[in-house]
Amino acid sequence: MSFRDDGAEALEWAASYLERVRELPVLAQVEPGEIRRALPESPPEAGEPFSAVLRDLDEVLLPGITHWQHPGFFAYFATTGSEPGILAELLAATLNVTQILWRASPAATELELVTMDWLAQLLGLPREWHGHIEDTASTSTLAALAAARQAFPGRVVLCSEHAHSSVEKAARLLGLAVQKIPADYEFRMRTEDLHDLEGACALVATVGTTSSTSVDPVAELAEICEREHVWLHVDAAYAGSAMVCPEFRWAWEGIERADSVVVNPHKWLFTPVDCSALWTRRPDDLHAAMTLVPEYLRTGDEDALNLSEYGPALGRRFRALKLWAVLRCYGREGLQERIREAVRLAELFEGWVREAPAWEVVAPRPFSVVCFRREGSDEENADLLERVNASGEAFLSHTALDGRYVLRLAIGNARTTEEDVRRAWDVLRREAR
Ligand SMILES: *Cc1c(COP(=O)(O)O)cnc(C)c1O
């Protein structure tokens, strides 16, 4: 078989998978080790045809896949690998560009800068900021905090008790201490006690926390950080995508005063993993923290920007291609329409929970995630979640808020319809009986 024939078959596989994914159990119904035992222990001596890989994808691997593309996926943060993004990934692998330097593929670097400028415009961010793409928000935050450590003498990172664990991990890797600030009754960072930031180099504000999607007060924190000479990093990994709609921009009012911002297009902007957008108002500090050019990579391209000098990785995937494809094929209107639909569906679900006896909404819902629980103990709610997920019809996850076990329904998959949300609610009520 030729590349062309195998390729046609792989594309056919992809298209029919997306058509039938709705019928598959959304959470993989396997035990630990089960898939591993079904795979050969050793590699083949002689090469096999590509069709053997496709066959095993169906027969061996698929039962162990949790279907993130399933419209009944409501766990963590629901995502979408959109068709333009999928095809662009194929093309990026075809070019196999490794962007270590500008000259290693000028178009990859320059498309990345243009795409990040487009995205800044779509989200209402200042266009003069430096922006580039990292793999994940964990890496983006690591880079931002490395820049903060470069810029300011303190060795403490402040964040809310609801900040993502990646903040703590980045601080640990950078030899920085973390100080958690308590949150208020709506899970937002409290600012009352932030008078003296002695010893801090950075403060991380979260716009859309992972547990409840609560929003820290960015403008107020920017004011404090400016006064105290502390770097303000805004983690908007999930909710940043909602800013394509002006009606959500209240949530990061004051963002132009942040020193860095991370938004993950691979979360809620229809781009396949991995794609994390990092901007900074202080590119010189980021560059100083990250640049390290050995002799064998020195070039005479004086006016060229080497994006590897702004992040931890030297070899960089051509991620801009898929983001560019998504932004072009959806357009501002298409992106807005889908964000608004996800929020509408979450609002609808929230209304059903509110009206149902024995069910309760337990956190404000600024975006597309509903935090709720059923009357009864934490164990009963945990058991309910297990039964719902074992049904294969919907997949939800949980968190803890105010010391209580809480169910989370996250909408973000562009294939999710009102009927899918209705079905999840039916399954929840059925399993609760
Ligand atoms: C998902 C998330 C992260 C981590 O994102 P990765 O890209 O998986 O590293 C960080 N912060 C927030 C607020 C998130 O929602």
Domain ranges of the chain: 86-327
Tell me what percent of the residues of the chain surpass a pLDDT of 70.
100
pTM over 0.85: yes
Q: What is the three-class DSSP state of 217?
A: coil
DSSP state of 45: S
Q: Which of 157, 264, 266, 408, when mutated, tests ligand 1's pocket best, judged by the most ligand atoms within 8 Å of its CB? A: 264
**Which residues, in sequence order, are bridge partners of residue 233?**
204, 260
Element (DSSP H or E) covering residue 409? strand 404-410
State residue 302's pLDDT score: 74
Interval between CA 407 and ligand 1 midpoint (Å): 19
Q: How far apart are CA 376 and CA 347, in angstroms?
A: 24
State residue 196's pLDDT score: 80
Q: Which of 77, 165, 166, when mutated, tests ligand 1's pocket best, judged by the most ligand atoms within 8 Å of its CB? A: 166
Q: Lowest mean pLDDT: which of 68-82, 231-245, 299-313? A: 299-313
How far CA 170 is from CA of 79, 144, 174, 266, 285, in Å, comes to 24, 9, 6, 20, 17
Q: How far apart are CA 20 and CA 225, in angstroms?
A: 50
pLDDT digits (tens, 9 = 90+) for 88-140: 999 999 999 999 999 999 999 999 999 999 999 999 999 999 999 999 999 99
State residue 292's pLDDT score: 87
Atom of ligand 1 nearest to the CA of 138: 9
Cβ neighbours for 232, distance < 8 A, ≥ 6 positions apart: 202, 203, 205, 218, 221, 222, 225, 257, 258, 259, 260
> Ligand 1 atom 5: the closest Cα is on which residue?
137
For 46, phi and psi rounded to 5 degrees? Answer: -100, 150
Interval between CA 276 and ligand 1 midpoint (Å): 9
Q: How far apart are CA 235 and CA 164, in angstroms?
A: 8
Whether omega before 274 lies within 30 degrees of 0, making that bond cis, reads yes
Q: What's the half-sphere exposure (Cβ side, CA atoms, 13 Å) at 425?
A: 21
Q: What's the half-sphere exposure (Cβ side, CA atoms, 13 Å) at 217?
A: 14
Q: What is the three-class DSSP state of 44?
A: coil
Q: Locate all alpha helices (DSSP H) within 231-377, ordered by sequence.
A: 265-268, 283-290, 320-355
> Ligand 1 atom 12: the closest Cα is on which residue?
237
State residue 299's pLDDT score: 80
State residue 295's pLDDT score: 82
> Ligand 1 atom 2: the closest Cα is on which residue?
237
Q: What is the mean pLDDT of residues 227-252?
A: 98
State residue 32's pLDDT score: 96
Q: For every residue of 116-180, which 3-state class applies, written as one string?
A: HHHHHHHHCCCCCCEEEEECCHHHHHHHHHHHHHHHCCCCEEEEECCCCHHHHHHHHHCCCEEEE
pLDDT digits (tens, 9 = 90+) for 132-171: 999 999 999 999 999 999 999 999 999 999 999 999 999 9
pLDDT digits (tens, 9 = 90+) for 23-47: 999 999 999 999 999 999 999 999 9
**Which residues, in sequence order, are bridge partners of residue 398?**
407
- Residue 255 — very low, low, confident or very high, per pLDDT cuts 50/70/90? very high
Atom of ligand 1 nearest to the CA of 166: 10
pLDDT averaged over the chain? 96
Interval between CA 86 and ligand 1 midpoint (Å): 21
Residues with CB under 6 A from ligand 1: 77, 136-138, 164, 166, 206, 208, 210, 235, 237-238, 264, 276
Quick one: tokens of 5? 């024939």
For 243-281, letters b (16+ CB in 10 Å) and e give bbbeebeebbebbebbbbbbbbbbbbbbbbbbbbbbbbb
For residue 298, pLDDT over 90 is answered with no
Q: What is the mean pLDDT of residues 339-344?
A: 98
DSSP state of 188: P
Does domain 86-327 fall into CATH 3.40.640.10?
yes
State residue 58's pLDDT score: 96
Q: What is the mean pLDDT of residues 364-390?
A: 97
Q: How far apart are CA 47 and CA 338, in angstroms?
A: 44
End-to-end CA distance of the chain: 54
Q: Which of 164, 168, 368, when mutated, tests ligand 1's pocket best, judged by the most ligand atoms within 8 Å of its CB? A: 164
**Which residues, in sequence order, are bridge partners of residue 279?**
131, 261
State residue 195's pLDDT score: 81
Atom of ligand 1 nearest to the CA of 136: 7
State residue 297's pLDDT score: 80
For 411, phi and psi rounded to 5 degrees? Answer: -105, 135
Q: Lowest mean pLDDT: which of 231-245, 298-312, 369-383? A: 298-312
- Residue 301 — very low, low, confident or very high, per pLDDT cuts 50/70/90? confident
State residue 307's pLDDT score: 96
